[in-house]
Every structure is written in C-alpha cells, then in structure tokens.
Chains A and B, each alone.
Chain A
Amino acid sequence: MNNQEREPLFSAKNLKLLTDPLGNNNPITVQVLGICSALAVTVKLKPALVMALSVTIVVAVSNFVIAALRQYIPDRIRIIVQLVVIATLVILVDQILKAYAFDVSKQLSVFVGLIITNCIIMGRLEAFAMANKPWPSFLDGLGNGAGYGIILIIVAFVRELLGSGSIYGYPVIEKLGAYSAGYENNGMMILPPMALIVVGLIIWFQRARNKSLIENK
C-alpha cells in the first residue's frame, strides 16, 4: 500500500465517476432505473428537487458506508446489510423532512419511504461500492444521484410549466397574461403518463445526439 502512489482526490478517473452518470451513463435515460419515482414526484418542481436531493444523499452516503465496510461484510448477508444501511438513511431523511420540511414531506408522502426500493441505490451498492474504495464510491453515488436528479428536475420543469403554468410555484403564465389571450394549462401534464412521455423525449434527444447509446439489433 505504502509504495503505491496516492491518487489525487479529483483525478480524471474520479471526475469521470461524477460526470458519467449525468450524461452518457444516466441512471434514468440510459440504464432505465428509478423510473417509478420519476413519474410520481415530478408534477411540481419543489417535491422533485427535494426528492432528487434525498436520493443523492442516500445513494452517496450508503455507497460510502458500504465501501468502507466492504472488507468486513460477510458475502452471505451482504444484501441484508445493504438494505439495512439504505433503510436507516431513508428513515433519517424522512424524519428530518417531517421535522423541518413538513409540507414537502406531506407531498412526497410514501415516496420518501420508497427510496429504499429505488433500483439505483441497490444497483450502485452491488455494482460499485462492494468493489471500490469509499471515496470513489461516494463520488459514484453523488454522480448517480445527480444524474437521477437532473432528469427529475427537467421533467418536473416541463410538467409544472405546461400543467400548472408555474415554475417553482411562481405563476409565470399568469404573469405573462397568456390566460387572457386564451391559453389554457394542459391538464394531461399533471397525470403520470406524461412523465413517461417526457422521459421518452429526453431519451430520444439524447440518443439522437449520441449514436453510441443506441443498442445494436
């Protein structure tokens, strides 16, 4: 260990862990994980933002904890240990939201608890944290959480703007005076299927720009 050269904290390799999931290895649009919560919490920007933050914290911290313990976790009970770590963090996040962000916690309701079942988190623990050091795992978690979050925020932005005519609760369309000109909000945007369609459009756009993402037939 000692004669091995220490890798700088933000080496090119580590930075790639952080930036890859934002684009070409995005958990939602490329790996198609965590879709269910992406549909549920993207009607408005605020819950989407809180959800994105919560998931990022949970995936980053649980990646870190599991990576730090990876030498000591018995292989036979590793999934249980991973679940315990995730569940603990999710309960903490839920309790903190209940204490300090009550309204958002009410809007997110069961979906905070359901972070436990978000495939991104278990996926990153199994695929990355069990085989890597804590710091790269932490970055990997941050990157994946942010990759998930950025899609959530884009979808929520589109859905809130077209569905409710506001951005982060601010009534833009009303201020622009579009209602008096005969504009109406699209109620469809509030319904879950539109989230799928918006995610689909993002996937389409991303693959049109980067042909290497298209699966070979």
Chain B
Amino acid sequence: MKQFSNRYIFGFSAVMVIAVATLLSLAATLLQPAQERNLEIEKKKSMLESIGVPATRGNAQELYNKYIKESFVIDSRGETVEGIDAFTVVLKNEQKKPADQQYLPVFRATPDDNEKVIILPVEGKGLWGPVWGYVSLRSDMNTIYGVTFDHKGETPGLGAEINTTPFESMFRGEKLFDSETFISVKVKKGGADPADIHGVDAISGGTITSKGLEKMLYDCLIKYDDYLLKNRN
C-alpha cells in the first residue's frame, strides 16, 4: 500500500473540498430559477386545494387566476398594510419578527359554489421539520371551508398522513370560535367526538406531528383574531 505524507493528505482534502463546493454552488445557481418556479406552482396548487379545487401542475396558474381574485396583507390589529404582495410573504421569516410587526397574508377566493372564502396560510413544526398548509374559511369567518397541509419530511405512513384527504377532510365544517372566543381546532388523540366542532382525530403513530399541527393552527390563526371578528357577517 502506497503511503502518503500528511501534507499530501491535507492538500488532497483541500482541493477536493474546493472542487466539490464549486461544482455544487454552480449547480444550485443554475437550477434555482426552475426550482423556484416549481415552488410557486406548488403554492398555488395547495391554495386551490384548500378551497376544494383540484389542480394539476399544468393548470394551477390558470385556475389560480380564475378563483383567487384578491390578496392583501394585514397586521396583527387587522389593519391592511399597503404595498406588500401577499403571495411573496414568507411566513417563516415573518414568524421571527415581533408579533406587531408581522405581515399576515389573506387571500380572497370564490369557489364554484359562490361562497366568499378567505385563505390563510399557516406554518409550524412537525416532528422532523416544517409543516405548513392553507386554511380556508367561510364568509362567517369562523367555519372551516377546507384545509390542505403539507410537510417536508414527516415519517411516511405516520406523521406524513397529514397531507392525505382522509385527514384533511375532517377539518371541513369545524369552527375556530366559540361565539367571540378563539378556540382553534384541536387534534384529539384517541379520536374526537363527531359532535365536537373544535376537534378532529389525531393520527395514530403521529402524535408529535399531530400536536405540532395543532400548535401551528392555534399560533398562526390567533394572529388573525381581530380581523376575523371584525369582518364577520
């Protein structure tokens, strides 16, 4: 076996690391536009799913323009903030700011049944990484019209079940408020009473993801508290 000096080993490692770093940063830069476009389409597709419009990657753009008419940003007091594009607000960055400086995006949509719904984005932590989603509310600003969730890397078959239809469809018709008090929707281990308008079944084997999702809903939606109460009809 050929012996190498320490100097050679250090030199070899340095050259290798620099070469690899250059290659990877080059690839990341070149592929970035295509990846960002994918993420944008994905975001539109998720929003459409939360109002019950099945979209594909091909028609997401078109359907988004058809159904989601208006978007704006509000602050924690429910006042509209001018000059910010709601679609480009990154929730994760907002959550690092103090509560009264956060931008809260709101999207208005009109599905085929002519209900005036608003779509609110939510983002939180699951077991292994971020979980996020969109919650759409009926015009009473209380009843959930539909939800869609997604995750970065929850356990397949367990926590990852949050982005499946059986789980998501349980949220339909649940209520966020008990008259004027914000309750949110709780995820109940062992199953929620079907009559419970603030609870859905948790996922067996996905307790931490379920709890994370519950916290995400509470933390993100309570910020809209003032806005939702003010705009009830």
Contact = CB atoms under 8 A, between A and B. Distances in A.
Contact of A77 (B12, B28, B153): B12
B24 A81 contact: no
A95 B12 contact: no
A118 to B, nearest CB: 17
A146 to B, nearest CB: 25
Interface of B is mostly: helix
B205 interface: no
B54 interface: no
B31 A76 contact: no
Interface string B16-40: 1100100110011001001100100
B232 interface: no
Interface stretch (A13-21, A49-57, A97-105, A197-205): A97-105
A95 B9 contact: no
Nearest to B150: A106
Interface in B1-58: 1-4, 8-9, 12-13, 16-17, 20, 23-24, 27-28, 31, 34-35, 38, 41-42, 57
B191 interface: no
Given A98-B31, A102-B38, A102-B42, A84 B16 contact: yes
Contacts of A73: 12
A133 B157 CA distance: 43
Contact of B35 (A84, A98, A192): A98
A77 B23 CA distance: 21
Between A40, A99, A103, the greatest number of chain B beta carbons within 10 A of the residue's beta carbon is seen for: A99
A186 interface: no
Contact of A76 (B9, B17, B24, B41): B9
Contact of B23 (A88, A103, A110): A88
Contacts of B1: 75
Given A75-B2, A110-B153, A191-B157, A100 B12 contact: no
Contacts of B156: 40, 109
Given A88-B24, A102-B38, A110-B153, A74 B12 contact: yes
B185 to A, nearest CB: 26
Nearest to A100: B34
B121 to A, nearest CB: 19
A91 B152 CA distance: 17
Contacts of B27: 91-92, 95-96
12 contacts: A74-B8, A74-B12, A75-B3, A77-B13, A84-B17, A84-B20, A88-B23, A91-B27, A96-B27, A99-B35, A100-B34, A102-B41
Interface of B: 1-4, 8-9, 12-13, 16-17, 20, 23-24, 27-28, 31, 34-35, 38, 41-42, 57, 152-153, 156-157
Given A96-B31, A98-B31, A99-B34, 20 more contacts: A71-B2, A74-B8, A75-B1, A75-B2, A75-B3, A75-B4, A81-B12, A84-B17, A84-B20, A91-B27, A92-B23, A95-B28, A96-B27, A98-B35, A99-B31, A99-B38, A102-B41, A109-B156, A110-B153, A191-B157
Interface of A: 40, 71-77, 80-81, 84, 88, 91-92, 95-96, 98-100, 102-103, 109-110, 191-192
